[in-house]
Amino acid sequence: MFVDEVDIHVAAGNGGRGCLAFRREKFVPRGGPSGGDGGHGGSVFIVASPHTNTLINFRFHPELTAERGDHGQGSNCTGQSGADLDLAVPIGTLVYEKTGDPNEPRRLLADLAHVGDRVLVAQGGRGGLGNAHFATSTNRAPRKVQPGEPGQEKDLRLELKLLADVGLVGFPNAGKSTLIARVSAARPKIAAYPFTTLTPNLGVVSLSGDRSFVVADVPGLIEGAHRGQGLGHQFLRHLERTKVLVHLVDISSGTGRDPADDLDTLRRELELFEPTLAAKPQIVAANKMDALDDETRVTALEARAKALGLAFFKISAVSGAGVPDLLEAMWQHVVAERSTDASDAPPPLGASSDLLAGTKK
């Protein structure tokens, strides 16, 4: 099951209580206080891991608690600190804290976009001091100790945004899954009915010269998706990290729709969801050229793409016709955007490959 949104409650460990003790040893009269400190409670961290690609584990275990610290002991022995709790999440996870403030219901704590990114979300409680700390020249037998401090507790929301270079956008049955299956080792479900794709799919595209990039296929959009029709905009956030979007338009007559209108609808739904997403570089691909029975349909779509200043390609995801040229165009956009990102941001901590569906050999 693909889960990309969960609400969890995290609690750091409480600190251990300080010890009240006195030294009792032969030939050492009035040995004085010897109570040790309590151990610190464990903290809760969230870590981006390449070994997980869904948040499903948190769906069934939303309450997470770190170990508490042990109490202090006699002979000035400090209690053992509780172990920290590391929560592994997929790369690309956003961590939000729920504030309870109606003006700002949640606050972004971290964007775990690279392998090994780690954020502290709940600090463990400090251990209490034992009575050995309170001895003075006038109070040589103190009976005062400190309780351990409680660990922090927070309500968090985790949201996953997949990492991909190219995003495929289109109506249901436009051929997105067929295309990603042709160009990569990903094997999404393909069938002759709408909404066969219910969760995003990732695939690695390999080109000559050791060039590669990642393609994301998200469930199909329909007009009115911003109002929740179809699957709505539920998965569009997975395209927010992409560098270029490819509008895959079915130009066969079997849809009963006008291809040019389909393109306008897709662009409008992206704009209604997130203007920055609609502002990304875009390519138009007329798919199912092998099933074309009316040349005016593809001509009108091409004219609309040219009017919008978008690159246009004629392809058949089933036969592979025109696909190599489309992949090269994708690569050119990916390289240009990677260069821009490299000049504007510090180098990433690492890169993940385990999230991906595989590489086409």
What's residue 225's pLDDT? 61
Report the sign of the C-alpha dihedral through residues 222, 168, 314, 183, in that order. negative
CA 72 to chain centre: 41
By mean pLDDT, which of 99-113, 214-228, 282-296 is the weakest? 214-228
Domain ranges of the chain: 5-160, 166-344
Percent of the chain with pLDDT over 90: 49
Percent of the chain with pLDDT over 70: 86
The confidence band for 356, taking pLDDT boundaries of 50, 70 and 90, is very low
Other C-beta atoms closer than 10 Å to the C-beta of 54 total: 17
Task: Tell me the per-residue pLDDT of 15-39, one tens digit each, with 9 for 90 and over.
Answer: 999 999 999 888 888 889 999 999 9
pLDDT of 343 > 60? The answer is no
Name the region of 245 (left: φ>0; alpha: ψ -120 to 50; beta: rest).
beta
Half-sphere exposure of 301 (CA within 13 A, CB side): 29
pLDDT of 139 > 80? The answer is yes
CA distance 147 to 129: 8
Element (H, E) at 205: strand 201-207
Collapsing DSSP to helix, strand or coil, 218 comes out as: coil
- Is 305 within 8 Å of 335 (Cβ atoms)? no
Other C-beta atoms closer than 10 Å to the C-beta of 189 total: 11
Identify the CATH assignment for 166-344 out of 3.40.109.10, 3.40.50.720, 3.40.50.300, 3.30.470.10.
3.40.50.300
SS3 content of the chain, % helix, strand, coil (to 5): 25, 25, 50
What is the pLDDT averaged over residues 102-120?
91
Q: Tell me phi and psi for residue 331, to 5 degrees.
A: -60, -40
Task: Give Cβ neighbours of residue 153 (< 8 Å, ≥ 6 apart).
Answer: 9, 10, 11, 12, 122
pLDDT of 205 > 80? The answer is yes
What is the pLDDT averaged over residues 304-324?
93
Secondary structure (DSSP) of 321-359: TTHHHHHHHHHHHHHHHHHHHHHHSPPPS----TTS--B
Mean pLDDT of the chain: 85
Residue 176 tokens, joined: 């997105």
pLDDT of 284 > 90? The answer is yes
Among residues 117, 97, 134, 171, the alpha carbon closest in space to that of 19 is found at: 134
- Is 249 within 8 Å of 205 (Cβ atoms)? no
Identify the CATH assignment for 5-160 out of 3.30.750.24, 1.10.3720.10, 3.30.70.1530, 2.70.210.12.
2.70.210.12
Residue 340 tokens, joined: 């821009």
pLDDT of 189 > 60? The answer is no
Q: What's the pTM value of the predicted model, to 2 decimals?
A: 0.76
pLDDT of 329 > 70? The answer is yes
Secondary structure (DSSP) of 79-132: PPPPPPEEEEEETTEEEEEEEEETTEEEEEEEEE-STT-EEEEEPPPPPPPPGG
pLDDT of 349 > 90? The answer is no
Element (H, E) at 202: strand 201-207
What's residue 197's pLDDT? 56
By mean pLDDT, which of 90-94, 230-234, 317-321, 336-340 is the weakest? 230-234
CA distance 203 to 218: 12
pLDDT of 361 > 90? The answer is no
Task: Give Cβ neighbours of residue 237 (< 8 Å, ≥ 6 apart).
Answer: 159, 161, 274
What's residue 226's pLDDT? 56
Q: Tell me phi and psi for residue 240, to 5 degrees.
A: -70, -20
What's residue 112's pLDDT? 93
